């Protein structure tokens, strides 16, 4: 294919054969077209600049949304777009209901779950900031952050908190501190996810 079609058409056809355009996320597909459009002989610089500014503006909007979510406050709902308000309200409602049930049973450790979710959003925020600033982290920094953002630590904390009095508070604090065993599990999950994604891209 690459031998019969010129760039960037060859890359566009290859992507479409791998994943039809109607199944792609338009904004993410725009990243490819922004870079490919510049290769066109008769491209319009103003249009290219407008597309780049539009994409960067959207990234900035998502950055503000993540910052609002990390506040873990009902008042932050007003700062979110409509498509995120329902998700955020449901997340707060479910966590608060879970916390109320736990308190009835004498367990008041819901704060650990809230903190775990806050950290989860902070990790996402860091990834977005790296992307927005076009930061190229070292391999070690990238693995560490993406291993934390995959959510394994949050799952561990929720699991341990849900066990109630069967687990001493010291053990809960240990798990919430992202110990080596949790980090190792997170890295395994991260690498398995990336390997599976790579295999799909190579199909």
CATH label of the domain that carries residue 164 = 1.10.600.10
The pairs formed by 48-56 with CB atoms below 8 angstroms and a separation of 24 or more are 55/27, 55/30, 55/31, 56/132
pLDDT at residue 2 tops 50: no
pLDDT at residue 41 tops 80: no
Q: d(Cα 47, Cα 44) in Å, to the nearest integer?
A: 5
Structural domain contains residue 178: yes
Tally the domains of the chain: 1
Domain containing 77 equals 70-201
Flag whether the pTM goes above 0.85.
no
Q: Is-contact 125 73, C-beta < 8 A?
A: no
Structural domain contains residue 4: no
Backbone angles phi, psi at 18, to 5 degrees: -75, -45
Kindly report, residue by residue over 59-109, the tens digit of the pLDDT: 777 777 767 777 767 777 777 777 778 877 888 888 888 778 777 666 668
Structural domain contains residue 1: no
| DSSP 8-class letter at 72 | -
pLDDT attached to residue 3: 57
Q: d(Cα 170, Cα 160) in Å, to the nearest integer?
A: 11
């Amino acid at each position: 294919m690459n031998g019969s079609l010129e760039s960037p058409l060859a890359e566009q056809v290859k992507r479409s054969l791998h994943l039809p355009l109607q199944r792609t996320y338009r904004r993410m597909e725009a990243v490819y077209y922004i870079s490919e459009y510049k290769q066109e002989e008769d491209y319009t610089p103003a249009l290219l600049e407008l597309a780049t500014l539009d994409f960067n503006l959207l990234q900035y909007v998502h950055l503000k949304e993540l910052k609002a979510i990390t506040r873990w406050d009902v008042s932050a709902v007003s700062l979110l777009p409509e498509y995120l308000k329902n998700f955020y309200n449901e997340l707060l409602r479910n966590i608060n209901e879970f916390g109320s049930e736990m308190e009835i049973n004498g367990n008041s450790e819901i704060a650990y779950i809230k903190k775990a979710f806050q950290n989860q959003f902070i990790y996402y925020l860091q990834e977005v900031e790296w992307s927005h600033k076009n930061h190229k982290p070292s391999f070690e920094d990238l693995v560490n952050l993406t291993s934390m953002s995959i959510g394994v630590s949050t799952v561990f904390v929720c699991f341990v908190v849900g066990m109630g009095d069967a687990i001493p508070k010291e053990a809960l604090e240990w798990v919430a501190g992202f110990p080596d065993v949790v980090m190792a599990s997170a890295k395994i999950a991260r690498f398995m996810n990336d390997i599976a994604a790579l295999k799909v891209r190579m199909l």
